[in-house]
């Protein structure tokens, strides 16, 4: 698992967004120090792209200084937020954060939900989920929340049936009906799109699908519905840092909504 990828320095700004970021650099002891830039850990796609749009188009008027640090994994952004290396992060959803805080003793809290990246089932070998053969291998993310989410997606489409009430803790052991006798290969979420030449299908998180030049809206065999979906991605901070007075509005402006809709064409959906 890689930690940091590249650093993008940005000046960030605001139209109408409710954030409550904290500012700190890696050399600060606490995210409560608001004298420096806002340092935000983000996944490259679409999170850092959205922040870069804000930097390029909204920053000057707001006069805010933002440093965006890009991470390619789902662990380091939270640990960096917890230890004050960054002031906030933007990459995750509530079930994942709840599980992460529980497992790691961290104290990260959401501030504002920005978008949904629908989870999808993809394949280089079949054109339809109905074409999956008996004994086919399906790759799924290996972290507990995204694996459960992947299995719930397959359950919703009738590919498998999960036992009642398993919720966000579902594992392959909770499958009660598997008519195609599918086999499941558990991989780090970032590896699932790279596995498509080696497995029959893979369930891929939306950000990793986009990075792999897959279009969730067009290429997914099965795609999550946005209706009543609990997996919206939000900006998060360490508990106690929600009320930085410098940033009351940031990521939920009409301009950002239009950018998301125009850029991702249904592969990323605004949640505000």
**Per-position pLDDT tens, the chain of length 272:** 333 333 232 323 233 233 333 333 333 444 445 567 888 999 999 999 998 888 788 867 777 777 889 999 999 999 999 999 998 999 999 999 999 999 999 999 999 899 998 999 999 999 999 999 999 999 999 998 899 999 999 999 999 999 998 988 899 999 999 999 999 999 999 999 999 999 999 999 998 999 999 999 899 999 998 878 889 999 999 999 887 644 445 678 899 999 999 999 888 999 88
pTM of the model: 0.72
> Hey, which residues does 202 pair with through a beta bridge?
122, 139
Nearest to 205 by CA among 118, 123, 264, 122: 118
Residues contacting 150, CB < 8 A, separation 6+:
119, 140, 141, 203
Residues of the chain with CATH 3.40.190.10: 4-118+229-270, 120-223
CATH 3.40.190.10 fits 120-223, yes or no: yes
CA-based nearest residue to 151, from 203, 188, 88, 195: 203
CATH of 4-118+229-270, one of 3.30.70.1350, 3.40.190.10, 3.60.150.10, 3.40.1360.10: 3.40.190.10
Phi, psi (deg, nearest 5) at residue 266: 90, -10
């Amino acid at each position: 698992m890689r930690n940091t990828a590249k650093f993008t320095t940005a000046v960030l700004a605001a139209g109408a967004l409710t954030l409550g970021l904290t500012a700190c650099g890696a050399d600060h002891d606490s995210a409560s120090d608001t004298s420096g830039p806002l340092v935000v850990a983000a996944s490259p796609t679409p999170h850092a792209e959205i922040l870069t749009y804000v930097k390029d188009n909204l920053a000057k008027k707001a006069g805010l200084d933002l440093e965006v640090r890009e991470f390619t994994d789902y662990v380091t952004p939270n640990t960096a937020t917890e230890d004050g290396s960054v002031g906030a992060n933007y990459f995750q959803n509530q079930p994942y954060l709840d599980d992460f805080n529980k497992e790691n003793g961290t104290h990260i809290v959401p501030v504002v939900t920005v978008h949904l990246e629908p989870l999808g089932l993809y394949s280089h070998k079949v054109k339809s989920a109905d074409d999956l053969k008996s004994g086919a291998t399906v790759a799924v993310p290996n972290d507990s929340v995204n694996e459960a989410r992947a299995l719930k997606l397959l359950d919703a489409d009738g590919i498998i049936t999960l036992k009642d009430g398993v919720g966000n803790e579902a594992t392959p052991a909770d499958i009660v009906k598997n008519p195609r006798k599918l086999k499941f290969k558990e991989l780090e979420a970032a590896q699932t799109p790279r596995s498509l030449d080696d497995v029959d299908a893979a369930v891929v998180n939306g950000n990793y699908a986009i990075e792999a030049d897959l279009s969730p809206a067009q290429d997914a065999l099965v795609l999550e519905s946005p209706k009543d979906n609990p997996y919206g991605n939000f900006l998060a901070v360490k508990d106690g840092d929600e009320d930085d007075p410098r940033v009351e509005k940031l990521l939920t402006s009409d301009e950002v909504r239009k950018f998301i809709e125009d850029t991702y064409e249904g592969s990323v959906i605004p949640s505000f």
